[in-house]
């Protein structure tokens, strides 16, 4: 549950420190990235070593705690203000709660009084080499328990193993499950292709696609079935793309494609061809046949949309318009919003923001994901709580402005500055 809190200014030092922390987190490029067997293995070790029910490896941005790997948690993320781990972030130190019912900070917490009925919590900060805390590693149980110095040392070593895995993940060029480009590699190659298109003045376009109802597939059939669906969709699309097209996996069930020498209309034709191919395919697993569809967003480079961050923001917004319109369809950026060609260039960022409402009496934390002179893409814990118009404060950028929602999904708002 996300609750708007009273609005209050942060100190200049707190704003500077959080901005530096988020910059370090952005450099890792891990938020909303696909599952990684290495992190899953560390979670299994947490459970085995400490004999606890829940293990978590998480990263924390401006508004949420996102689970890179976890066991027995119903959601992939929680609002930052609702988490135990915010105390680790705020104190920059480990936190051990041997019995939550005896701690006034947690005894009435919903995760204590309701499932998963947390009684024990041990969290340790994940630090970069420069000392920025970007996340936590946690051992959690439904029974109170002790946690000695040896246990703390072991959890600290596991935190070091997490950061070693983070360093390895930055070097990976291909996604281990699908064989596609990783998000970092995709963006680097996309920059090169777009720059080349600019020099030679040829068209280039971008597609985003997201598998429909993917969470339901995982919940009903398990992660093994979800992995097979991901591999199938990747294979089907790759078989219908040209050799020179760039294809990458950006998130769990989210993919992106850059099409050199293809304009907007050609990109829409390609997206429709891929949509039909995905919808015609079937995934058979243990005698169960899974029907799969995907939603597509389409955009093309223009005078102002001439970098990968802007193109991805536009294609992402168009893709969620396709979701809102019923899924299993393609949408073109600007077709329904009226934003189109006059949308200025965006740059990819990770900044802390606050949505001001009720005549500035309350605020909701958000994370700025891309920013331009005319608008931004922002992530929140629950987009349905946000009105169509609001004021946005980005203290690190010295910006406060009136905003209008252009499109939204459950967690992401595409906004224009009024």
Question: What was the pLDDT predicted at 339?
Answer: 47
5: pLDDT confidence band, cut at 50, 70 and 90? low
Question: What was the pLDDT predicted at 414?
Answer: 87
Q: Mean per-residue pLDDT for 236-247?
A: 97
Segment 386-416, tens digit of pLDDT: 999 999 999 988 889 999 998 787 888 889 9
Q: What is the mean pLDDT of the chain?
A: 91
CA 297 to CA 165: how far, in whole Å? 32
Per DSSP (E only), the strands in 313-361 are: 330-332, 347-357
Segment 324-371, tens digit of pLDDT: 899 999 999 877 544 444 456 778 899 999 999 988 888 999 999 988
Question: What was the pLDDT predicted at 1?
Answer: 44
Q: Which of 228, 208, 232 is nearest to 295 (CA)?
A: 208
Segment 171-216, tens digit of pLDDT: 999 999 999 999 999 999 999 999 999 999 999 999 999 999 999 9
pLDDT at residue 33 tops 90:
yes
How far apart are the two ends of the chain, measured CA to CA in Å? 29
372: pLDDT confidence band, cut at 50, 70 and 90? confident
The segment with the largest mean pLDDT, out of 118-132, 273-287, 336-350, 371-385, is 118-132
pLDDT at residue 375 tops 90:
no
Query: What are the backbone angles phi and psi of residue 182, rounded to the nearest 5°?
Result: -70, 170
pLDDT at residue 8 tops 80:
no
Segment 48-74, tens digit of pLDDT: 999 999 999 999 999 999 999 998 787
CA 211 to chain centre: 15
User: CA torsion, points 380, 384, 387, 390, in degrees to nearest 10?
Assistant: 0
Predicted model pTM: 0.89
Segment 123-174, tens digit of pLDDT: 999 999 999 999 999 999 999 999 999 999 999 999 999 999 999 998 999 9
DSSP code at position 286: T
Type and span of the H or E element at 414: strand 412-417
Looking at 2-16, 324-338, 375-389, which range is the least confident one?
Answer: 2-16
pLDDT at residue 9 tops 80:
no
pLDDT at residue 2 tops 50:
no
pLDDT at residue 4 tops 70:
no
Provide the greatest CA pair distance for the chain: 68
CA 320 to CA 339: how far, in whole Å? 15
> Pairing state of beta strands 294-300 and 288-291?
unpaired
pLDDT at residue 289 tops 50:
yes
Question: 155 is written with which tokens?
Answer: 């959890």
Question: What was the pLDDT predicted at 313?
Answer: 85
Question: What was the pLDDT predicted at 336?
Answer: 57
Q: Which of 198, 332, 329, 203 is nearest to 260 (CA)?
A: 203
CA atoms within 13 A on the CB side of 222: 5
Q: At what angle do helices 214-221 and 223-239 cross, to 10 degrees?
A: 140
pLDDT at residue 84 tops 50:
yes
The burial of 128, by beta-carbon neighbours within 10 Å (0-12 exposed, 13-18 middle, 19 or more buried), is given as: middle
Q: Which residue has the higher pLDDT, 373 or 189?
A: 189
- In the chain the domains, ranked by start, together with CATH numbers, are 35-171 (3.30.450.40), 183-342 (3.30.70.270), 347-417 (2.40.10.220)
pLDDT at residue 236 tops 50:
yes
Q: Is 386 helix (H, G, I), strand (E, B) or coil?
A: coil
């Amino acid at each position: 549950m996300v609750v708007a809190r009273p609005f209050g200014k942060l100190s200049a030092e707190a704003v500077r420190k959080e901005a530096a922390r988020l910059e370090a987190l952005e450099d890792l490029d891990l938020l909303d990235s696909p599952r990684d067997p290495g992190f899953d293995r560390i979670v299994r070790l947490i459970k085995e070593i400490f004999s606890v029910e829940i293990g978590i490896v998480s990263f924390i941005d401006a508004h949420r705690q996102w689970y890179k790997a976890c066991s027995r948690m119903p959601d992939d993320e929680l609002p930052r203000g609702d988490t135990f781990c915010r105390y680790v972030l705020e104190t920059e130190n480990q936190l051990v709660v041997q019995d939550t019912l005896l701690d006034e900070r947690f005894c009435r917490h919903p995760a204590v009084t309701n499932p998963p009925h947390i009684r024990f919590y041990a969290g340790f900060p994940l630090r970069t080499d420069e000392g920025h805390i970007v996340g936590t590693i946690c051992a959690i149980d439904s029974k109170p328990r002790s946690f000695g110095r040896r246990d703390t040392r072991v959890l600290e070593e596991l935190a070091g193993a997490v950061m070693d895995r983070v360093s390895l993940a930055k070097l990976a060029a291909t996604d281990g499950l699908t064989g596609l480009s990783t998000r970092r590699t995709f963006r680097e190659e996309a920059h090169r292709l777009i720059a080349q298109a600019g020099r030679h003045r040829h068209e280039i376009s971008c597609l985003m696609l997201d598998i429909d109802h993917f969470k339901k597939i995982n919940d009903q059939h398990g992660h093994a079935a979800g992995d097979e669906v991901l591999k199938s969709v990747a294979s089907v699309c790759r078989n219908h793309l040209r050799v020179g097209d760039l294809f990458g996996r950006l998130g769990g069930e989210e993919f992106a494609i850059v099409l050199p020498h293809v304009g907007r209309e050609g990109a829409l034709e390609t997206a429709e061809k891929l949509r039909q191919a995905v919808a015609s395919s079937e995934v058979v697993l243990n005698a169960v046949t899974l029907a799969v569809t995907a939603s597509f967003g389409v955009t093309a480079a223009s005078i102002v949309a001439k970098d990968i961050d802007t193109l991805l923001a536009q294609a992402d917004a168009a893709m969620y318009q396709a979701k809102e319109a019923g899924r299993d369809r393609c949408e073109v950026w600007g077709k329904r919003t009226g934003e189109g060609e006059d949308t200025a260039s965006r740059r990819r960022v990770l900044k802390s923001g606050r949505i001001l409402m009720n005549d500035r009496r309350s605020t909701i934390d958000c994370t700025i994901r891309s920013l331009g002179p005319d608008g931004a893409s922002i992530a929140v814990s629950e987009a349905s709580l946000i009105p169509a118009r609001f004021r946005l404060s980005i203290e690190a950028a010295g910006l406060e402005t009136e905003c209008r929602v252009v499109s939204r999904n459950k967690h992401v708002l595409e906004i224009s500055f009024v």
